[in-house]
Amino acid sequence: MELRQLEYFIAICEEMHFSRASEKLFTTQSNLSQQIKFLEKELGVPLFDRMGKRITLTDAGKVLLEQSKHVFSHIKYARDAIADMKNIQGGTLTIGVLPGDADLLFNALLVEFHRTYPKLSLSVIETTEVTEQVIKGNIDIGVTTSSFHDDRIVQIPLFNEEFSLAVAIESSFANKRTVQLKDLQFMETVMFPSNHQCRKLVDKFCMELGFHLHPKIETTTISSLINMVQQGIGISVLPKLLLENLDNKNIKIIKLTNPTPSQNICIVYRTEKYLGFAARAFIDTLNTYIETAINHAEVINDHTN
């Protein structure tokens, strides 16, 4: 059994057509058919059921397809690992984040990371489908909310993200230490749009209490939300860590209670993916950055209290 034969076999499975597979592989259809016959003869079982011009996988073919994908996955892992050893301080990394999270996690972090590892090339992509894009292989690692268990994905916990109320310092609410979540239904709000991950979380908690938010203004830009809050246009519900590290003197941060909206943030990458130097360095830097940001927020809280 040769790797080339497995490559041919996978191509046929993807196309379910010998002619299209041969075009994809830049070989002749007769050569492709011959290699599959050699493979079937060696295994002693047919891999395809042939019904006129149509083909379908046999049970043996389904087993071989699954195992062949593992074989090529391990080969890619080995190649990536060896390439990483040859170019230990270089490389490229594509990172996926939820829309708006770059403001919280990446503005200062990217500058710090570049100064430490100037030979590494980074690409940050905002998407609402971080995990899906990681599974598809479009991005190397993602920073997103914890999702359902999937054997294809490794999840590394980062931190639990609580949400707080942001109000103008001159607002009538600014003298409050806490506000119950149910009271949001009576307030003027400015929020992320309904398809934003942060908004989805807040809406979920509100709906569990039996009401919906009807913001005066919606925007995906955090700087715009902050500006509208400090101008007194409305209050907003935003990640507590973000608000604390902005340290805006014109904004009062108020704890939301009964309940406090929160979500777990994690790093995700494909289970079989080799984590090269670039990925490992970024994960270490991100963990340190988050720890520093949390400690900074605690210091601010101590001075405030």
* Residue 254 sits in the same domain as residue 280: yes
The H or E element containing residue 180 is strand 178-180
Q: Which of 202, 219, 224 is nearest to 211 (CA)?
A: 202
**Is residue 277 within 8 Å of 88, Cβ to Cβ?**
yes
8-37: per-residue pLDDT in tens? 888 888 888 888 888 888 888 888 888 888
Query: Quick one: pLDDT band at residue 177, thresholds 50, 70, 90?
Result: very high
* Residue 278 sits in the same domain as residue 131: yes
> What average pLDDT does range 177-195 have in this prediction?
94
* Residue 99 sits in the same domain as residue 203: yes
* Residue 58 sits in the same domain as residue 127: no
Q: Which residues pair with 262 in a beta bridge?
A: 162
Q: Which of 65, 86, 107 is the last residue of a domain?
A: 86
* Residue 155 sits in the same domain as residue 267: yes
* Residue 166 sits in the same domain as residue 266: yes
pLDDT at residue 267, as a whole number: 92
* Residue 41 sits in the same domain as residue 132: no
pLDDT at residue 71, as a whole number: 82
Distance CA 251, CA 174 (A): 9
* Residue 77 sits in the same domain as residue 164: no
Query: How many domains does the chain divide into?
Result: 2
CATH of the domain at 232: 3.40.190.290
* Residue 260 sits in the same domain as residue 290: yes
* Rounded percentage of the chain residues whose pLDDT exceeds 70: 90
Distance CA 299, CA 291 (A): 13
pLDDT at residue 209, as a whole number: 96
Query: Quick one: pLDDT band at residue 163, thresholds 50, 70, 90?
Result: very high
Using the structure block, give the residue that is written with the tokens 């994690």.
266
> What average pLDDT does range 289-305 have in this prediction?
64
* Residue 107 sits in the same domain as residue 46: no
Max mean pLDDT range (43-57, 86-100, 104-118, 150-164): 150-164
CATH of the domain at 13: 1.10.10.10
Q: Which of 23, 55, 86 is the last residue of a domain?
A: 86
Average model confidence (pLDDT) for the chain?
Answer: 85
Q: Which of 86, 109, 124 is the last residue of a domain?
A: 86
pLDDT at residue 305, as a whole number: 53
Range of the domain at 7: 3-86
Considering only CA atoms, give the Rg of the chain. 26
* Residue 166 sits in the same domain as residue 33: no
* Residue 290 sits in the same domain as residue 236: yes
